[in-house]
Amino acid sequence: MRRLFVAAVAAAGLAGALAHDSHAVSRRKTLSFGPVLPHASYHTNSVYHTNLLRAQDPFEVAQIFVEDLIRDIPGGSYQIRKDSYTDQATGVTHIYARQYMNGIEVADGDINLNNGASLHTVARDVDPHADYCRALEHEVASQLQKVDVSKPDHGVDREALGQLGDLYDWNCQFVNLPDFMAESPDFASAEDAASGDVTRALLQFMIAATPSEDLSGEMLANTAKYLSDMHVTFQHHLTGEHAPTFTVENVPDAVNPVKGRLAFVQVPNGDETTLSLVWKFEVEMKDNWYEAAVAAEAPHRIISVVDWASDSPVPVAPIPPKEQEGATYNVFAWGINDPSVGERSIQKENFDALASPLGWHALPYSKDPQSKNLRLKHASAIRNTTTTWGNNVFAHEDWEGRNNWLSNYRPDAGSSKVFDYAYKPKETTTDDALEEAQKYINATITQLFYTSNLVHDLYYRYGFTEVAGNFQQYNFGRGGQENDAVIANAQDGSGYNNANFMTPPDGQNGRCRMYLWNTANPYRDGDLEAGIVIHELSHGLSTRLTGGPANSGCLGWGEAG
């Protein structure tokens, strides 16, 4: 612990010694780590090959393959996930199998990740969190050795060092918390019921996850109060599954009730893997949306955590705006990346009739979040809107920088649907720069709505369809989960010089947050740079295609998600 503390202090000291620009990139706290598993391999036998040759249906082929893999694993079973599908354009069938042990889900036991007899062994004393922090500590120490105080920049990459220091601070500040809490009188006196284990494990995660030092300190000082305030509701299903699912209300710093279930996750054990029993949580916070696996037994170590929110990369250089022109959508047309390379023009609602049969401004009342309390004569009735609200995208301002969005401001173009708004920012004093940028919110929202819908339709033609897990409120009977159009925040007030996208599983709204950039005067607006918007929307594409529509935890630990 002392070595970790010393490294953290040293990193913090170095960060303080290096002068920071007043327009430095704002970074939200985010946790992301997990066990490093050995390479998986598949072994088949002659019987498998014989059966495979006879099989014609792709799902039957998959069933034979998986059954061969788990044949010798006591208690092993599997399910073909419901988000498996056949791409009608390519004829390729995408099948996702999830492993179960004695009826309990192996949360990361996807067909392409695990194999071998070691899967039947249950691990009881693993700490991937500490392993991760030791590796990160070594990297911090390595960077500190490169410091050359004789050079103006100290001979190090200031941005990279700052990111490394943040990673260490965010992920490792509470690495020893499980051992400390296991000895806490509040924990020791708590009942051993399943709900008690759930709340204790969840509270420890929230202490580590919250970006508020005041709140984490309050949770540590008043553990018993926070434990008693949380309420667990177990859900009963008639599906024959043995693992309980539940929701937890009144979770500190969570914006919605936390969803959870009992599961197994793989952890390294030499050249093999073993299984660790965990509580799997889905925790939605203001700036994060976590999928976390926390040991079900005390000490409740964090085994893995994935943040479904993804940030934009290093900021681009400021660009000078050009004079704007206006007139259906007055926008930077597809192919014009930003104000520095072209002017706005009048563009039609050029929707793809296959990808967006209702166009960009219509959706069924039954799928409209703003119409939930309406009594409809016909459930299939279509709502036609005159704002930036449709089946694929809900675009609006979010100056408040919070999680409200249903009633946020959107430009209303009236019955003509001519979204023609001025955009001509001018240089101002620093104090007035934000107000100046906000004057053009109508143009900003219009551009974000236009770009996001074009991306939706383009990706649809390349296979990101309803059944593949794309983002739509209504799926036209084509499969997949509904009610997950992209919530697109323009000029999000929670930060500057960044952008991010949160990708929950299919059936839950993706969230795109675009920020202003205060690196120049007048402020630059990320909503007007197509490259940033497309980058963020592509996080949703890659996450849902890689792990399958129902698995958002596949690209959480440094992969290109």
Burial environment of residue 305 by CB neighbours within 10 A (0 to 12, 13 to 18, 19 or more): buried
Residue 106's Cβ-side half-sphere holds a number of Cα atoms within 13 Å equal to: 30
* Residue the block writes with tokens 């955590």: 305
The residue type found at 368 is D
| 195-216: b (≥16 Cβ within 10 Å) or e | bebbbbbbbbbbbbbbeeeeeb
Q: What whole-number distance in Å separates Cα of residue 13 and Cα of residue 27?
A: 18
Residue 352's nearest CA partner among 460, 243, 248, 447 is: 460
Q: Which of 326, 528, 341, 361 is nearest to 447 (CA)?
A: 528
With contact defined as beta carbons under 8 Å apart, do 375 and 366 qualify?
A: no
Residues assigned a catalytic role: 536
CB-based burial label for 271 (10 Å; 0-12, 13-18, 19+): exposed
Closest listed residue to residue 82, CA positions, set 70, 93, 91, 95: 95
> In a 3-state reduction of DSSP, which class is residue 131?
helix
Half-sphere exposure of 25 (CA within 13 A, CB side): 19
Burial code (b: 16+ CB inside 10 Å, e: under 16) for 120-136 equals: beebeebbbbbbbbeeb
Q: Is 311 annotated as a binding residue?
A: yes
Q: Distance between CA 133 and CA 35 in Å, rounded?
A: 11
Q: Which residues sit opposite 85 in a β-bridge?
A: 94
Residue with tokens 């409120």: 473
Please answer whether residues 392 and 482 qualify as being in contact, where contact means their C-beta atoms are separated by less than 8 angstroms: no
361 is in an annotated binding site: no
User: For the chain, what's the residue count?
Assistant: 561
141: closest CA among 1, 14, 36?
Answer: 14
* Among 475, 491, 494, CA closest to 483: 475
Selection from 305, 494, 310 nearest residue 398 by Cα: 494
Q: What string of H, E and C letters represents the secondary structure of 362-407?
A: EEEHHHCHHHCCCCCCCCCCEEECCCCECCCEEEEECCCCCCCCCC
Annotation: binding site for Zn(2+): 311, 535, 539
Annotation: binding site: 311, 535, 539
